[in-house]
Chains A and B, each alone.
Chain A
């Protein structure tokens, strides 16, 4: 008798829920791995899954063509998609939570556009590079670090402006998205103005930042993205309980011992860094940061201890899927991934909205 009483204790439902969430995480991970192997095999030099795995196991030093294609061309692009997808989705998830607005994302807060504006300024005004159409993929950015640095500054300045507005005017967090939209529009207009006065080759180079493209990614970019993402993923996931408390309102969270203002500031800053870094290296990629967290909420609910890492996984899946689609759909032409995510993301968002009955 007491055994049945114990298993039917309320906590049984909690354990059951935890198991279902772990299972959902494993499924997400499995989908990602399958997608990775598939994506590595696709392209102008197709490889069956077994050869992909062999080339991966053989290491980067192997000399056969499969190893070269995998290790020098496809793997850095794939890892960049993975890391940028994770960064943007994580940024979107935490922005949505601390601003309590389901529309918050790196794009709607203007952080991505700010980064693109920064890169454009560096290319045109500081003469950091130009695009020479010698071949299909010849980009000459003479000072890549200047461009990336300027993009970072642009993205972080936008985030700082939003935070400053929030602190000075005591704006309701919900209203901050409006400030973000205004700043994003300002950055976009600035980008257009600077492009208008640029030479043709410079304008072509700036285009690479106004629509995101994973073709820019090499091992160096992958390294930087990973270096930024890893600590912030841990830091943000550790705030899971506090973000759960925030879901009930600021006073409830404060009463539970959460330093609300500090949490909002650090989490938004971390999200801005994630979004700015991936935009700085790869250009503006929209909708991943908006869609991926919503997908995960549909699957596992709003417990941030799971939501944040799972949103990162979902972001990786969405961006890698979009990039693979963009590489294959009218091959050999490779579509910029930023355009593909927007084309896929907009209808997906509408479906989500309709399914949730407008809530």
Chain B
């Protein structure tokens, strides 16, 4: 359970988000929405303790995150930055890196077995010996999600994980994130630009308007008026082939 109380964040003197109150149960997937520059990434980075908040508290399973020592925090919180330049290591090594917060010096059999499991889970087992620099964008994103899972976290923070992926990979990666969050009971926050992907995969939303305000609720409760207010684009909500979607008008 992630509990956020009175969280305010800003960037360079400008307040992006004021007084956020949010409770997310384990297994829930929250889509972080909002226009460019609204502070989505800053919020994710703040929760990952990479950016200092202007005020407020964040607790994970009752423990304040800012009280945790670095490695202890990395065992609880996994964070995927917006862009990662791949290093010239194998897929296996890249995922094993997620064990770093758990390791002293050598990776034990338990660590290796866990990485094996994750690679199977993500359908990456056949690529284990491939270099990350030779992967496609979708494969690399899955490897990075694999590393995050290898951290064995309680909270998963993904900053635009599908932004430069093609349609098939967007669906596949987000389905994977959704399934993983439920199976492993993770609290998951995903920054998304595509509202329709959010409608399809997320349970809840957090919509930032960039002026310090925000809306939050169940994904089904997101209204065209809220979207118009945040993005300044008029939309209508419809349904096609059983999937709800927003269409700009």
Contact = CB atoms under 8 A, between A and B. Distances in A.
Interaction A to B = yes
A94 to B, nearest CB: 16
Contacts of A13: 90, 92, 128-129
Contact of A254 (B50, B89, B97, B124): B50
A257 interface: yes
Interface string B79-109: 1110011111110111011101101010000
A11 B115 contact: yes
B79 A247 contact: no
Contacts, number: 94
B187 to A, nearest CB: 16
B103 A11 contact: no
Contacts of B72: 257
A242 B105 CA distance: 11
A259 B101 CA distance: 12
Interface string A236-262: 001001101101110110111111000
Contacts of B7: none
Interface residues on A, range: 20 to 34
A143 interface: no
Given A13-B129, A244-B97, A303-B89, A258 B70 contact: yes
A245 B97 contact: yes
A34 interface: no
Which DSSP category, helix, strand, loop or mixed, fits chain A's interface? helix
Contact of A256 (B86, B113, B124, B151): B151
B101 A256 contact: yes
Contacts of A16: 129
Contact of A17 (B81, B97, B113, B129): B129
A10 interface: yes
Given A238-B105, A249-B81, A258-B70, A302 B115 contact: no
Interface in A10-46: 10-11, 13-14, 16-17
B125 interface: yes
B119 interface: yes
Contacts of A254: 48, 50
A60 interface: no
A247 B13 CA distance: 31
A255 B74 contact: yes
Contacts of B151: 256
Interface in A290-330: 301-303
Given A11-B92, A11-B112, A248-B84, A242 B97 contact: no
Interface residues on B, range: 35 or more
Contacts of B101: 256-257
B135 to A, nearest CB: 14
A11 B89 contact: no
A9 interface: yes
Nearest to B70: A257
Nearest to B157: A255
A252 B81 contact: yes
B3 interface: no
Contacts of A244: 87, 89, 93, 97, 100
A248 B97 contact: yes
Nearest to A254: B50
B100 A10 contact: no
Contact of A249 (B73, B85, B98, B100): B85
A296 B115 CA distance: 27
Given A14-B112, A17-B129, 10 more contacts: A10-B125, A238-B105, A248-B87, A249-B81, A249-B85, A251-B45, A254-B50, A255-B48, A257-B70, A257-B73
15 contacts: A10-B128, A11-B112, A11-B128, A13-B128, A14-B115, A245-B97, A248-B84, A251-B50, A251-B79, A252-B84, A254-B50, A256-B98, A257-B71, A257-B100, A257-B101
Interface of B: 45, 48, 50, 70-75, 77-81, 84-90, 92-94, 96-98, 100-101, 103, 105, 112-113, 115-116, 119-120, 124-125, 128-129, 151
